[in-house]
Amino acid sequence: MAAGEEVLAKGWVRTKRGNKEIAFIALNDGSTIKNIQIVVDKNPETEAVLSKISTGACIGVRGRLVESVGSGQAVEIRASEITVYGECDPMRYPLQKKDTSFEYLRTVAHMRPRTNTFGAILRLRSQMAFAIHEYFHSRGFVYLNTPLITASDAEGAGQMFQVTTLPLENVPKDKKGRPDFSKDFFGKQTSLTVSGQLEGELGATALGEIYTFGPTFRAENSNTPRHLAEFWMIEPEMAFYDIKDNMDLAEDFIKHLVKYALDNCYDDVKFLSDRYDPELIERLQSVIGTEFVRLEYTEGIKILEEAVRNGVQFEYPVSWGVDLQSEHERYLVEKHFGKPVILTGYPKDIKAFYMKQNEDGKTVRAMDVLFPKIGEIIGGSEREADLQKLESRIDELGMSRRNLEWYIDTRRFGSCPHSGFGLGFERLLLFVTGMQNIRDVIPFPRTPKNAEF
């Protein structure tokens, strides 16, 4: 749009200020971090309209676009007609200047998209989702929708939300006194999915390369800044990929997404950087421009043990066999290497049943991508393609083979080497936005004791 044109702008008022002759309104329609300045000449008629306009009000403005004399914007609108769609009582509006803490804004998550910060975050979220679909689509991956309601615990961690229509106050019991799930809606015990991977493998062993992108649920009672009970995960799964191909894809994928954010969402990233995190842009650029470290778990443990000997203090102890805590992951990434690390060859006892076992009988071909400020951002592996090995691992872990027959069929009929991984969408957004708490990169967070809005 060029100066001189007649325009109609509709949006929400960010601020109103002015003097005796003139009023300035900063208007935002949510499409960008930038407001458009509205200039209104005061007279009895406009004063009446202006009296109804305050921060948060929704208005429509007709007027002429003119070059701005003030600094801060190239053009502004000289208003000729203003419609007030919705007034906003300044005394009761939940978004007040005096409390803009993230903690407070979480309590008014129904209103926080109106703030500059959440506008930027939510636009970034949308752009990144698009970039993910585009990345896979342009490489011939098939987008596969996996079920949200499932009868299997893919990760075997038992952190599932049960789905039932049985009456809780009077649950029908079987002969042994246990809940009788044959009377339940699906005729068996069901839960919300913790991962679409197992069904993803069915897709990959037929279509070659697939990805899923959907909501994922975990009833882990961990109140951390990196865990949600409902989050979104992207899970590509590829036939004929070994662990190395898997790592290459993960590294390329995540670099592509970070670069996409800088190339396509620069205004929003810059806003968040200026306001909260001066090193954000540098951190994003450094990830794009560097080769990720690839390290065996065993070597990682040696580095951490050495650090402890040199006086570094961790809350949780480290030794071969333990699952790494985010403090350990961040030490490797931020202190030791100063760049992202892909850790492989984890002990089989701390990883899921489906991972390909190494010759040593102790480790599996797992890979976790560890990021600065975040810790684990991606988890994945090469999959066990050997029927016998898979079945014996399932038995060893005391899992029920009966519920997994459909999955095991992929190894019975035309089994093939394959690999995949899962990227936590909100962990990616934490990285790209520089936010500190995962509750602030999803519109309506679900965490223990919190399902508001």
Region from 96-104, 281-289, 295-303, 416-424 binding ligand 4AD, contact rule CB under 6 A: 416-424
Q: Which is nearer to ligand 4AD, 35 or 193 (CB)?
A: 193
Contact predicate 280/272, CB 8 Å: yes
Q: Read out DSSP for 336-374?
A: IISS-EEEEEEEGGGS-TTBPBPTTSSEEEEEEEEETTT
Q: Which is nearer to ligand 4AD, 11 or 422 (CB)?
A: 422
Q: Among residues 26, 57, 163, 228, which is the contact residue for ligand 4AD, using CB under 6 A?
A: 228
DSSP letter (8 states) at residue 113: G
Q: Read out DSSP for 230-268?
A: EEEEEEEEEET--HHHHHHHHHHHHHHHHHHHHHH-HHH
195 contacts ligand 4AD (rule: CB under 6 A): yes
What residues numbered 402-431 form the site for Mg ion, per CB under 5 A? none
Q: Which helix (H) or strand (E) holds 202?
A: helix 197-207
Closest by Cα among 270, 253, 244, 217 to 382 = 244
**How many Å from the N-terminal Cα to the C-terminal Cα in the chain?**
38
Q: Which is nearer to ligand 4AD, 13 or 374 (CB)?
A: 374
Q: In this structure, which amino acid lies at residue 260?
A: Y
What residues numbered 197-216 form the site for ligand 4AD, per CB under 6 A? 197
Report the alpha-carbon distance of residue 223 to residue 50 in Å, rounded: 46
Query: At its nearest, how many Å lie between ligand 4AD and the CB of residue 195?
Result: 4
379 contacts ligand 4AD (rule: CB under 6 A): yes
Region from 109-117, 335-343, 388-396, 423-431 binding ligand 4AD, contact rule CB under 6 A: 423-431
Q: Which is nearer to Mg ion, 220 or 242 (CB)?
A: 220
Q: b/e for 382-395, b at 16 or more Cβ within 10 A?
A: bbbbeeeebbebbe
Report the alpha-carbon distance of residue 285 to residue 296 in Å, rounded: 26
- Per-residue binding letters, 231-250, with ligand 4AD (x by CB under 6 A): x-x-x---------------
Out of Mg ion, ligand 4AD, none, which partner does residue 377 contact, by CB within 5 to 8 A per kind? ligand 4AD
Query: At its nearest, how many Å lie between ligand 4AD and the CB of residue 421?
Result: 5
Q: Which is nearer to ligand 4AD, 180 or 220 (CB)?
A: 220
Cβ contacts of residue 47 below 8 Å, gap of 6+?
A: none
Query: At its nearest, how many Å lie between ligand 4AD and the CB of residue 24?
Result: 42
Query: At its nearest, how many Å lie between Mg ion and the CB of residue 328?
Result: 14
379 contacts Mg ion (rule: CB under 5 A): yes
227 contacts ligand 4AD (rule: CB under 6 A): yes
Contact predicate 274/268, CB 8 Å: no
Q: Which is nearer to ligand 4AD, 218 or 365 (CB)?
A: 218
SS3 assignment, position 111: coil
Report the alpha-carbon distance of residue 200 to residue 209 in Å, rounded: 9
Q: Among residues 63, 300, 424, 445, which is the contact residue for ligand 4AD, using CB under 6 A?
A: 424
Q: Among residues 56, 119, 420, 445, which is the contact residue for ligand 4AD, using CB under 6 A?
A: 420
Region from 11-19, 223-231, 394-402, 410-418 binding ligand 4AD, contact rule CB under 6 A: 223-231
> How many residues contact ligand 4AD, by CB under 6 A?
23
Q: Which is nearer to Mg ion, 379 or 445 (CB)?
A: 379
Using alpha carbons only, give the angle 117, 122, 125 rounded to the nearest 5 degrees. 130
- Per-residue binding letters, 324-353, with ligand 4AD (x by CB under 6 A): ------------------------------
Query: At its nearest, how many Å lie between Mg ion and the CB of residue 200?
Result: 15
Q: Which is nearer to ligand 4AD, 73 or 224 (CB)?
A: 224
372 contacts ligand 4AD (rule: CB under 6 A): no
Q: Given CA atoms 118, 122, 123, 124 in this order, what sign does their dihedral have?
A: positive
Region from 4-12, 64-72, 185-193, 228-236 binding ligand 4AD, contact rule CB under 6 A: 228-236
203 contacts Mg ion (rule: CB under 5 A): no
Cα dihedral 104, 105, 109, 114, rounded to 10, equals 150
Would you tell me how many other CB atoms lie within 10 Å of the CB of residue 302? 14
Q: Which is nearer to ligand 4AD, 112 or 351 (CB)?
A: 351
SS3 assignment, position 291: coil
Give the pair of three-digit tokens for residue 82: 């203003």
154 contacts ligand 4AD (rule: CB under 6 A): yes
Q: b/e for 208-233, b at 16 or more Cβ within 10 A?
A: bbbbbbbebbbeeeeeeebbbbbbbb
Please report, as ranges, the residues that interact with Mg ion according to CB under 5 A. 379
Please report, as ranges, the residues that interact with ligand 4AD according to CB under 6 A. 154-155, 195, 197, 218, 220, 227-228, 231, 233, 235, 376-381, 420-422, 424, 426-427
